[in-house]
C-alpha cells in the first residue's frame, strides 16, 4: 500500500473536511510516495514517541494532535525542531487527525460513553451531517438505565480512564442519571451539557472560574487520559481498515502531569 492510499483510508474514516475551521488536520510533514508496511499511531507527535515509531520501522505516523495548529518555522532547537528533523531525515509522512476525528461520534471518540453503558447515546454538540446522514459533532450524552451513586461513578470513571486523580467541581448529586462527556479540553460545553439534563460532565482542562461557576458536577480527568485511550482504540479501527497488507501499532504517550499526594510523594497517573 502506498502513502497516498494510507491517507485515503484515514480520510475515509475521519475526513479532514469536517475538522474545525481553526484546526490543522492532514499532512504535517510530507514524506515521499512509498510503499507503507507499518503505520504508527499515537496521541502526540513528541520526540520520544516519534523515535520509538521510527525504531520500529514506521513509514507513516498518525497522531491526534497536530505538530502545530498555526504555521511556524523550526527556528529554535526545541521539541518541534527535533520532531521535524526526525521525520524529515527518515523521509516518512507525519499526519494528524484532530477535530476530524473528534466529531466522529460513532467512532472511538465516544468510547467512554459505551463503556459506561449509557443508553440513548447521542452527540452533545452537533456541527454537521455527513453523506450517510450521520450527525457529527463534539462530545456525547446519554442516560443510565438506572441511576448510579455519584461516588461509584467517580471510581468507575477513574478506573476506565486510567487516571490516578480526578478533579471534581460543581454541586455533587447523590445519584447520577445522565452523563455528558467531551474528551480533551471540553469545558466550553459545560453549560450546554447541563442545559440538556446532564447530572455529570466529564472532560479535561477545566479552568478556575468555569469550575467556580459550574451549575453541575464536573469530572476533570485531564486532557491525556480519555484521548490516549481513544487513539489506542482508533489504531485498532485503522488496522481493520488497512487490512493485512499494513501493520498498525499504537505507541503510548506520557501524561505530562505528575501529582504530589501528601504523605505519599509524587504520583504519576
- Options 3.50.50.60, 1.10.1060.10, 3.40.1390.30, 3.40.50.720; which CATH number does 3-101+226-250 get? 3.40.1390.30
Contact 43, 253 (CB under 8 A): yes
Name the residue among 252, 129, 267, 141 with its Cα closest to residue 201. 141
pLDDT of 267 over the 70 cut: no
Q: What is the pLDDT of residue 261?
A: 74
Name the residue among 113, 97, 259 with its Cα closest to residue 180. 113
6: which residues sit within 8 A by CB, 6+ positions away?
A: 36, 39, 60, 93, 242, 246
Q: Encode pLDDT of 71-121 as tens digits.
A: 899 999 999 999 999 999 999 999 999 999 999 999 999 999 999 999 999
Q: Encode pLDDT of 25-46 as tens digits.
A: 999 999 999 999 999 999 999 9
DSSP readout, 199-241?
SEEEEE---HHHHHH-SSEEEE--HHHHHHHHHHHHHHHHHHH
Q: Hey, what CATH topology would domain 103-221 get?
A: 3.40.1390
Range list for CATH 3.40.1390.30 in the chain: 3-101+226-250, 103-221
pLDDT of 58 over the 70 cut: yes
Contact 54, 261 (CB under 8 A): no
Q: What is the pLDDT of residue 265?
A: 65
Q: What is the pLDDT of residue 263?
A: 72
pLDDT mean across residues, the chain: 96
Q: What is the pLDDT of residue 163?
A: 86
Q: What is the pLDDT of residue 269?
A: 67
Percentage above 90 pLDDT, the chain: 94
- Predicted structure pTM score: 0.95
C-alpha 221/C-alpha 197 separation (Å) is 21
Q: What is the pLDDT of residue 139?
A: 98
pLDDT of 142 over the 80 cut: yes
C-alpha 170/C-alpha 211 separation (Å) is 7
203 — pLDDT class (breaks 50, 70, 90): very high
Collapsing DSSP to helix, strand or coil, 66 comes out as coil
Q: Which residues pair with 259 in a beta bridge?
A: 267
Amino acid at each position: 500500500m502506498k502513502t497516498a492510499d494510507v491517507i485515503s483510508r484515514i480520510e475515509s474514516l475521519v475526513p479532514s473536511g469536517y475538522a474545525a475551521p481553526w484546526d490543522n488536520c492532514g499532512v504535517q510533514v510530507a514524506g515521499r510516495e512509498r510503499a507503507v508496511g507499518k503505520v504508527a499511531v499515537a496521541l502526540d507527535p513528541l520526540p520520544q514517541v516519534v523515535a520509538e515509531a521510527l525504531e520500529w520501522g514506521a513509514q507513516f505516523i498518525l497522531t491526534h494532535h497536530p505538530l502545530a495548529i498555526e504555521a511556524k518555522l523550526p527556528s529554535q532547537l526545541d521539541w518541534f525542531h527535533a520532531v521535524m528533523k526526525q521525520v524529515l531525515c527518515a523521509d516518512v509522512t507525519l499526519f494528524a487527525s484532530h477535530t476530524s476525528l473528534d466529531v466522529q461520534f460513532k467512532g472511538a471518540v465516544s468510547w467512554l460513553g459505551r463503556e459506561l453503558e449509557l443508553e440513548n447515546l447521542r452527540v452533545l454538540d452537533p456541527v454537521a451531517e455527513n453523506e450517510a446522514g450521520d450527525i457529527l459533532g463534539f462530545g456525547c450524552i446519554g442516560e443510565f438505565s438506572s441511576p448510579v451513586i455519584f461516588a461509584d461513578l467517580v471510581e468507575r470513571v477513574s478506573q476506565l480512564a486510567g487516571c490516578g486523580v480526578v478533579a471534581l467541581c460543581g454541586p455533587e448529586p447523590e445519584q447520577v442519571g445522565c452523563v455528558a462527556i467531551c474528551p480533551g479540553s471540553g469545558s466550553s460545553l459545560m453549560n450546554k451539557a447541563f442545559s440538556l439534563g446532564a447530572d455529570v460532565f466529564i472532560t479535561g482542562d477545566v479552568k478556575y472560574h468555569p469550575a467556580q461557576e459550574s451549575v453541575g458536577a464536573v469530572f476533570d480527568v485531564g486532557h491525556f487520559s480519555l484521548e490516549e485511550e481513544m487513539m489506542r482504540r482508533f489504531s485498532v479501527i485503522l488496522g481493520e481498515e488497512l487490512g493485512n497488507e499494513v501493520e498498525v501499532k499504537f505507541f503510548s504517550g506520557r501524561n505530562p502531569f505528575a501529582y504530589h499526594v501528601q504523605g505519599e510523594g509524587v504520583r504519576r497517573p
